[in-house]
Amino acid sequence: MIRAEHLTKRFGTFTAISDVSFAVERGEIVGFLGPNGAGKSTAMRILCGVFPPTSGRAVIAGYDVVTDSLRARRVVGYFPERVSLYLDMTVREYLRYVADMKGIAARERRAAVERALDGAAVAHVAHRLIGTLSKGYRQRVGIAQALLGEPRVLVLDEPTAGLDPEQVAEMRRLIRSLRGESTVILSTHILPEVEATCDRVIIINQGRMLAVDTPQNLNQRLRQTSQIYLEVIGPADQIVAQLHAVPGVLSVELSASPVDGVVALTVATQKDRDVRADLAACVAAAGYGLLELRPVALSLEAIFLSLVSAPEPSRPPVDHEVPRRLSA
């Protein structure tokens, strides 16, 4: 449904994306994962026809986004990172305008607008001026705008940015509900987001693709070791020694203690071995109090570091500097 081949985009001397290639099958939900400024928006804007790539090409539903731009744009719904709407229009007026701009026939327009209103759950504010709506609702109107006309491809640039947790959950539900009907590309810099919604992830950093895989595989592949965090009441030295003796444990490190008398530890274990039950049993057998035990989720930062520092065999080593600080 979407095919990008060696996309490169330069703005003057700045290279926003470099040699990005990927393919998305019909009905898939694919996530672009990367820190701010990684080139996610640039890649999405190329797909949506905002500007052409400097080199390489992209094809959507068989239409080249440069040479057949108008037809390609007809099958794409875009949700921009900066949701910008005409504040002086009501939601319904705005969607009517978008329907006309998308070239939806006059007799189908009413039904199409109503479906988009329902799809994005904004039907009850349809009569309100967009300028009076909250951020969350404006975001939804932005989604309604993208859904309008049921485009075969949806490109959503950070659809959950700036929403409160409840709205984020709702947005994810909405995106998941599109599975199978539309092909969706969404971008995010939040790791759990792709795990929650996407079939596949494209990791992109400093304009280059680092990996393409399912979230599960990626997690597996990235975890050379698994880490488990524990909080235990007891003598620190003995606890460390005893945990070290548990089979499968590679190292035990003391972390900063949250409260006096509580020992916080991070235990690194072998990759494919779940030792959580053994750890718990060990602590209990020694008579210490176990307050907390949980696997440490890999942060986006850790993912990038491991992808950048440990290139997989099939891929040439990435030759750029490791980002110093990434927002996770």
Partner 1 sequence: MKFLVVCRRELRSYFTSYIAYILLAVFLLLSGYFFYSDLIFFVLFGGYVLPTGLWQFVFLDMRLCLLLVLPLMTMRLFAEEKKLGTIELLWTYPVRDGEIVAGKFLACWLFFLVMLLLTAINPVIFYQFYQFDVGPLLAAYLGIFLLGTAFIACGLFVSSLTENQVVSAMATYGILVFFWFMTWNEEAASQSILQAMLRLSLFDRFYNFSRGVIDTRDVAFFVLFAMFFLFLTLQSLGVRKWRGVR
What residues line the site for partner 1 (CB under 8 A)? 11-12, 16, 42, 45, 48-52, 70-71, 73-74, 76, 78, 80, 82, 84-89, 97-98, 100-103, 145
- CB of 71 vs partner 1, minimal distance in Å: 7
- CB of 82 vs partner 1, minimal distance in Å: 5
Q: State which residue, 7 or 98, has the beta carbon closest to partner 1.
A: 98
Burial of 141 (0-12, 13-18, 19+ CB in 10 A): buried
Q: What residues does 252 pair with on adjacent strands?
A: 267
Q: What is the dihedral of CA 157, 159, 161, 162, to 10 degrees?
A: 130
Q: State which residue, 84 or 314, has the beta carbon closest to partner 1.
A: 84
Q: State which residue, 8 or 266, has the beta carbon closest to partner 1.
A: 8
Cα(168)–Cα(183) distance, integer angstroms:
20
- CB of 102 vs partner 1, minimal distance in Å: 6
Q: State which residue, 88 or 118, has the beta carbon closest to partner 1.
A: 88
CA angle 203, 321, 43 (to 5 degrees): 35
Q: State which residue, 48 or 201, has the beta carbon closest to partner 1.
A: 48
Look-up of token digits 């009517």: 96
- CB of 124 vs partner 1, minimal distance in Å: 23
Name the token pair of 265: 């530890």
- CB of 327 vs partner 1, minimal distance in Å: 21
158 C-beta neighbours (distance < 10 Å), count: 23
Cα(144)–Cα(60) distance, integer angstroms:
21
- CB of 191 vs partner 1, minimal distance in Å: 27
φ/ψ of residue 50, rounded to 5: -65, -45
Q: State which residue, 31 or 52, has the beta carbon closest to partner 1.
A: 52
Name the token pair of 313: 């065999």
- CB of 44 vs partner 1, minimal distance in Å: 10
Nearest to 44 by CA among 14, 24, 71: 24
Q: State which residue, 49 or 56, has the beta carbon closest to partner 1.
A: 49
Sheet order of strands, 183-188 included: 76-79, 153-157, 183-188, 29-33, 200-205, 208-213
